[in-house]
Amino acid sequence: MYVKKRSKLMALATIVIVLCSFAMPVKATLTTPAEEIQILAWENISLIMGGITFNGNTASCSCSINGYSGTTNVSATYELQQKINGTFYTIKTWSASSSRSYLDWGASYAVTSGYTYRLYITTIVTRNGVSETAYSSVTSTLN
């Protein structure tokens, strides 16, 4: 009886170890009073970090995207969105690309106080001939 229970326990432990060994995307969210930053990890991408700050009624948007070694192209589309009645609507779109392993970007746009804004980032990173698409966003409110 003891041998059967021990065998079942060992089989269960092996399954748990195998399941835990699979790589899974990682998501961490850091919230500050002025902005929310999401940092996500993928196969080709070591970092996507966006930000929104306000100076009066001007939103300053920024984003850094870094690929792992072997990255040959980083391209991104940035959408500044305004939240109206619970739904985000795109009010401005920018695009940028780099033939390096990273892409640093920034732009400003006039906005209206009293709304929540989101910078929605879509990126494609090519590394070792394989392209990967990823999404991230950062949200902030202009009071």
Between CA 35 and CA 136 the distance in angstroms is: 14
Domain residues of the chain, as ranges? 25-142
pLDDT at 4: 54
How do residues 41-80 score in pLDDT, each as one tens digit? 589 999 999 999 999 999 999 999 999 999 999 999 999 9
Averaged over 117-132, what is the pLDDT?
A: 96
pLDDT at 42: 84
CA distances from 26 to 5, 23, 39, 43, 47 (A): 35, 9, 8, 11, 11
**What pTM does this model have?**
0.72
pLDDT at 15: 52
Compare 32 and 22 and report the one with higher pLDDT.
32
Look at residue 140 and tell me whether its pLDDT is greater than 50.
yes
Lookup: tokens for 72: 């040959």
Compare 20 and 67 and report the one with higher pLDDT.
67
Strand order in the sheet with 130-142: 87-98, 71-84, 115-127, 130-142
pLDDT at 79: 98
Averaged over 100-109, what is the pLDDT?
A: 97
Q: Does domain 25-142 have CATH number 2.60.40.10?
A: yes
Q: Name the residue type at position 131.
A: S
CA 66-68-73 angle, to 5 degrees, is 65
- β-bridge partners, 61: 52, 107
Mean per-residue pLDDT of the chain: 82
